[in-house]
Amino acid sequence: MRRFSQRTHLVTLNEINITPLLDLAFVLLIIFIITTPLLEQGLNLNLAEGGTPDKPITKQDIRTVDINAQGIILLDRVRVDLNALEQRLVAYFKANPNTVVYIRADENGRNKELYAVIDRCQRNGITRFSLRTEPPTKR
């Protein structure tokens, strides 16, 4: 007489048919491959002609704000605190409305000072500022 044990019953349970799971994975992969380029594509626009070209920026119009990793702020390579920075930028902007503020912040630094500088510029009507970055390196 043959003995039936729990082992044969458990052996059959550990064999899962993964074919339907693979079919589902491939279908989802195909859907994502097809829809991703459609999501990234922008609108085709025909822009109207006219307007004036951007004014060229001269070196006298540029003010550079540097923020290091420790949060120290420099305006044109001179160390200043946040209030003095605001006063000087407002004075530059009143003297020259074409002033552009280049903001260079350390990538490993805190963002608190960066946000404060941007906020002070916007509160005083200095809307021409640029966050400066390094160009990507080729590998």
Q: How many CA atoms lie within 13 A of 120 on its CB side?
A: 20
Q: Render pLDDT for 2-50 as a digit per residue (tens, 0 to 9).
A: 555 555 555 555 677 888 889 999 999 998 888 877 665 544 545 556 6
Q: Looking at residue 16, what is its pLDDT?
A: 75
Q: Which segments within the chain are labelled E, that is strand?
A: 62-67, 73-75, 78-80, 100-105, 129-131
pLDDT digits (tens, 9 = 90+) for 62-116: 898 988 888 889 898 889 999 999 999 999 999 988 889 988 888 888 789 989 9
Q: What is the pLDDT of residue 10?
A: 53
Q: How many CA atoms lie within 13 A of 5 on its CB side?
A: 4
38-49 residue pLDDT tens: 665 544 545 556
